[in-house]
Structure 1
Amino acid sequence: MAAAQRSYDEQDEAPLGGYAALAAVFATGAALFAVTARRRGVRLPYRVPPWDVVLLGGATFKASRLLTKDKVTGFLRAPFTRRTDDLPAGEVMEEPRGTGVRRAVGDLVSCPFCTSVWVAGALTAGYACAPRAARLVCAGLGAVTVADWLQYAWSFTEQEAED
């Protein structure tokens, strides 16, 4: 174990090299987007209206939950995680497995907070290149978020009525 690793994580569990690789992939993707957008003449917006920020935020929230917690998307996470528990509303709890890059990807795909940065990057790139299409996708994801909250409210109301 390297000295830098030991000083960072005494349990030797943090895959710092894998995290660095993921950060490099993200930065490379952002740079490629910027270069491609510039070459294609994509005109970035001078400002983003607050409503669009809310729309992108709601969509980022829902897409991140779908990718990291939904039972149906477990096949995407399975090479990197192991299911540890079932949660309400069709969600699961998973833990990363493996070492190195595999472990780092497991950390990423089992954490909605971590994944939200990647999702926000993709949605923002879509918003810059095709704002109408991105708004439509975000509106759909936002509608699912509202529907989820209504499902929770309905379930809560039913439980209160039974008590």
Structure 2
Amino acid sequence: MTSTHSHAHPVGRLVDGYDPEGDVALGGYAGSLTTYGLVLAGIAAAGSASGHHLVERYDLADIALGGMAVHKFTRLVSKSSVAAPVRAPFTQFEEAAGSGEHVESARDEGGIRGTIGKLITCPFCLGVWIGTAYIAGLNLAPRPTRTWAALFAVTAVSDSLQHVYARLRGD
């Protein structure tokens, strides 16, 4: 099957037929992957230049704490009412979702604004970036990173208890 969008460049021909309707922003996603790779290379270079090396193993407590913290922080960035001004240039408000969260979609304009909008409204996508920052922090600055993680892990536990309490009360 060939795409209705013929590509003269050999790399472009590799993706012909993938998305004949043009629904998937392959260029934006390729840009995101490239940026992510450059960020990883920058982190590695910064660590090497400062004499920091990757730890051989991560403590299970750091993984559990970090998992909760990354989850909570990702939800805050991607869904919270309070972070809406940060997302607004890249997203469009759809509706309130309860618990201080919004449902938003990426702007239809395409380009970098659309790509960023897709990234910051997807907690699963954003989680990779924030998780990367957390692991980098454990290697480059473990004490402040664990403090950050403790703050957001405690908040995640508190939020969970708020939901349990509300359900028990029938709110």
Pairwise same-fold verdict (TM > 0.5): yes
CA contact (8 A) 2:52 2:139 kept: yes
CA contact (8 A) 1:15 1:101 kept: no
Instruction: Please state which structure has a larger fraction of its residues in helix.
Output: 1
Which residue is 2:31 aligned to?
A: 21
Letter in 2 for 1:35: A
CA contact (8 A) 1:6 1:12 kept: no
Letter in 2 for 1:109: I
Does structure 1 residue 126 correspond to structure 2 residue 129? Answer: no
CA contact (8 A) 1:67 1:109 kept: yes
Does structure 1 residue 115 correspond to structure 2 residue 126? Answer: yes
Q: Distance in 2 between matches of 1:8 and 1:103?
A: 20
Unpaired runs of 5+ in structure 2? 7-12
Task: Please report how far the alpha carbon of residue 15 of structure 1 lies from its aligned counterpart in structure 2 after TM superposition.
Answer: 1.3
State percent identity of aligned pairs.
32
Q: How many residues align?
A: 160
Alpha-carbon displacement from aligned partner over 1:40-91 (angstroms, at most 9, x marks no partner): 1013222101111111111110110000000110111111110111111000
Structural mapping, 1:1-163, within 5 Å: 2-3=5-6, 7-97=17-107, 98-159=109-170
Match of 1:8, SS state, is: coil
Q: Which has the higher contact order (CA 8 A, sep 6+)?
A: 1
Alpha-carbon displacement from aligned partner over 1:101-126 (angstroms, at most 9, x marks no partner): 22111110110000000000111111
Letter in 2 for 1:2: H
Task: Please report how far the alpha carbon of residue 155 of structure 1 lies from its aligned counterpart in structure 2 after TM superposition.
Answer: 0.5
Letter in 1 for 2:119: L
Letter in 1 for 2:37: A
Q: Aligned Cα RMSD in Å?
A: 1.6
Match of 1:47, SS state, is: coil
Match of 1:86, SS state, is: strand
CA contact (8 A) 1:17 1:101 kept: no
Match of 1:37, SS state, is: helix
Match of 1:87, SS state, is: strand
Q: Distance in 2 between matches of 1:43 and 1:20?
A: 29
